């Protein structure tokens, strides 16, 4: 039983308010990712849960108990730091067993748990080495092992993979996921890599500037972003935004696109005719003619390619029309010259609409 609940949580560093009254429920056994741009307060939130920062206002509850004034050691949490934070003067074995030794666990129990972690993380060959004699990936595994052996109620990760190369990161992602499935404790995972968040988490919390912008499953935040910020933050390359105007019958007019985009009937709460809206389109939903599936309902327009980035299996086209730039995905790519004019199709069933003032989504809340 280790649900983590943040209630009106505030953190002030002197005059500066880093966390601005957030509320969040992290269910028992769930894997929650905190994402957001640099400086938005992810680490601060995590460190408050860990007990490394004081709480300025509000409550942190772990398993129903308010832990605001409990020291870290009494909270039943373990943390994996971005810098690994291993004890430099101890061997790998001593690093792993430190927490258990000082809390006076019986020898046999310590050995059993350490052996367990060593096997899962394949640390066997390095047990007698010091952290300085390990590679980044090996250190990372020791840091995870150290957290594992304590069998904590809550696992806290602060960007644990950001110092690893792409291949190792991929591998460790799978390891962490497996570990979570096996141990079944609550995980709070801070990252600014949205791929990590999307692939690992049950629930993603998107933060900006000390506030929570949206909470939802990876599919939810991707398909129905709550506002322009989330829409832009989740998904790579980023979603394209166009200024549009509401016409008769729910048609959205965008300058220089001849036909209006017809939103899926009933999906949006549209403002009055003549009002402005922001039209959001993911790069994969602006399809270059003859590349990729032809959408069921679509609108055609022409644009001039200003840059193309060939990724091998696809090409990212940056194109412009009437001073508006956007990025489109070209599946099954061919060579494209800069300056070439291409016809694109907008997938009308996949559009996003936002209020230009509040920046909130105009999507009708289902159910």
Partner 1 sequence: MGDRSMSDSELGALDAERLGSADVRQRRRNALTGALFAAPALLFVTSFLLYPVAMNVWYSFTAWRKFEGLGEWAGLANYQRLATNPNFEAAAINTGIWVIASLVLPVALALALAVLLNGARFSDTAKTLFFLPRVLAPTAAGVIWYYVYAPNGVLNGFLSLFVGPVDRGWLFEDSTITPAIIVAFVWQTVGLPMVLLLIGLAAIPRDPIEAAQIDGATPGQVFLHVTLPLLLPTILVVVIISVLAGFTAFDHIWVMAQSFPGKRRLSLTVLMYYEAFTNNAWAFASAIAVVLGGIVLAVTWLQAVLQERVDRMLK
CA distance linking residue 234 with residue 309, whole number of Å: 21
**99: which 2 tokens?**
């927490």
Q: How many residues interact with partner 1 (rule CB under 8 A)?
A: 25
Cis peptide leading into residue 176 (ω within 30°): no
Minimal distance in Å, beta carbon 214 to ligand ATP?
16
Indicate which of Mg ion, partner 1, ligand ATP, none lies near residue 226 (CB less than 5 to 8 Å, by partner kind).
none
> Cβ distance 242 to 254 under 8 Å?
yes
Nearer to Mg ion, 43 or 185 (CB): 43
DSSP 229-243: HHHHHSSSSPPEEEE
Radius of gyration over every alpha carbon of the chain, rounded to an integer in angstroms: 24
Q: Tell which one of 16, 132, 366, 367 touches partner 1 (CB under 8 A).
A: 132
Name the CA dihedral angle for 185, 92, 157, 44, rounded to a multiple of 10 degrees.
130
Please state, in angstroms and rounded to a whole number, the distance separating the CA atoms of residues 305 and 300: 15
3-state secondary structure at position 82: coil
Q: Which stretch binds Mg ion (CB under 5 A): 26-34, 37-45, 165-173, 312-320?
A: 37-45
Q: Is the dihedral of CA 235, 241, 246, 248 positive or negative?
A: negative
Q: Does 51 bind partner 1 (CB under 8 A)?
A: yes
Nearer to Mg ion, 43 or 315 (CB): 43
Q: Nearer to ligand ATP by C-beta: 43 or 298?
A: 43
Residue closer to Mg ion, measured from CB, 192 or 297: 192
The site partner of 192 among partner 1, Mg ion, ligand ATP, none (C-beta below 5 to 8 Å per kind) is ligand ATP
DSSP per position, 156-193: EEESTTTTS-HHHHHHHHHHHHHHHHHH--EEEEE-S-
Helix (H) or strand (E) holding 96: helix 92-102
Residues that bind ligand ATP (CB under 6 A): 13, 16, 18, 36, 38-44, 192
Considering the rule CB under 8 A, would residue 50 count as an interface residue with partner 1? Answer: yes
Site for partner 1 in 66-85 (CB under 8 A): 71-73, 77-79, 81, 83-85
Binding Mg ion (rule: CB under 5 A), the pick from 43, 45, 97, 348 is 43
- Given Mg ion, partner 1, ligand ATP, none, residue 87, with its beta carbon under 5 to 8 Å by kind, binds partner 1
Quote the longest CA-to-CA distance of the chain: 76
Q: Say which entry of Mg ion, partner 1, ligand ATP, none residue 327 contacts (CB below 5 to 8 A, set by partner kind).
A: none
Give the contact letters, 146-185, x = binds to partner 1 (CB under 8 A), - = no. x---x-----------------------------------
Shortest distance in whole angstroms from residue 107 CB to partner 1 = 17
Q: Where are the beta strands (DSSP E) in the chain?
A: 4-13, 16-26, 31-35, 57-62, 65-66, 77-80, 154-158, 186-190, 203-208, 211-216, 240-246, 251-253, 261-262, 276-281, 286-288, 298-310, 314-321, 324-331, 341-347, 352-354
Q: CB-wise, 41 or 280, nearer to ligand ATP?
A: 41
Binding site for partner 1 (CB under 8 A): 50-52, 71-73, 77-79, 81, 83-89, 98-99, 102-103, 130, 132, 146, 150
């Amino acid at each position: 039983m280790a649900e983590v609940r943040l209630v009106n949580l505030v953190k002030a560093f002197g005059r500066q308010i880093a966390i601005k009254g957030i509320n969040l429920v992290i269910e028992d056994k769930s894997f929650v990712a905190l994402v957001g741009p640099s400086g938005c307060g992810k680490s601060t939130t995590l460190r408050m849960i860990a007990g490394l920062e004081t709480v300025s206002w509000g409550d942190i509850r772990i398993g129903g108990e308010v832990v605001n004034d409990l020291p870290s050691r009494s909270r039943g949490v373990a943390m994996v730091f971005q810098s690994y934070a291993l004890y430099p003067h101890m061997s790998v074995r001593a690093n792993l067993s430190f927490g258990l030794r000082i809390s006076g666990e019986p020898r046999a129990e310590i050995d059993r748990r350490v052996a367990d972690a060593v096997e899962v993380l394949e640390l066997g060959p390095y047990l007698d080495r010091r952290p300085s004699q390990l590679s980044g990936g090996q250190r990372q595994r020791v840091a995870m092992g150290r957290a594992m052996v304590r069998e904590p109620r809550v696992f806290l990760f602060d960007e644990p993979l950001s110092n690893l190369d792409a291949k190792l990161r991929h591998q460790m992602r799978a390891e962490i996921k497996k570990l979570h499935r096996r141990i079944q404790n609550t995980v709070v995972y801070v990252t600014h890599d949205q791929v990590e968040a999307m692939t690992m988490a049950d629930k993603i919390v998107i933060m900006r500037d000390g506030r929570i912008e949206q909470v939802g499953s990876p599919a939810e935040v991707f398909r129905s972003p709550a506002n322009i910020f989330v829409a832009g933050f989740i998904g790579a390359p980023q979603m394209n935004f166009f200024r549009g105007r509401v016409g008769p019958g729910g048609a959205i007019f965008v300058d220089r696109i001849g036909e209006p985009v017809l939103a899926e009937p009933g999906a949006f709460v549209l403002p009055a005719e003549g009002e402005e809206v922001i039209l959001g389109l993911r790069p994969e939903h602006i399809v270059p003619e003859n590349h990729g599936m032809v959408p069921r309902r679509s609108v055609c327009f022409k644009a001039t390619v200003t840059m193309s980035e060939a990724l091998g299996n696809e090409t990212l086209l940056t194109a412009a029309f009437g001073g508006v730039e956007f990025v489109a995905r070209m599946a099954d790519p061919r060579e494209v010259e800069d300056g070439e004019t291409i016809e694109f199709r907008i997938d009308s069933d996949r559009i996003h609409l936002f209020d230009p003032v509040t920046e909130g989504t105009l999507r009708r809340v289902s159910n």
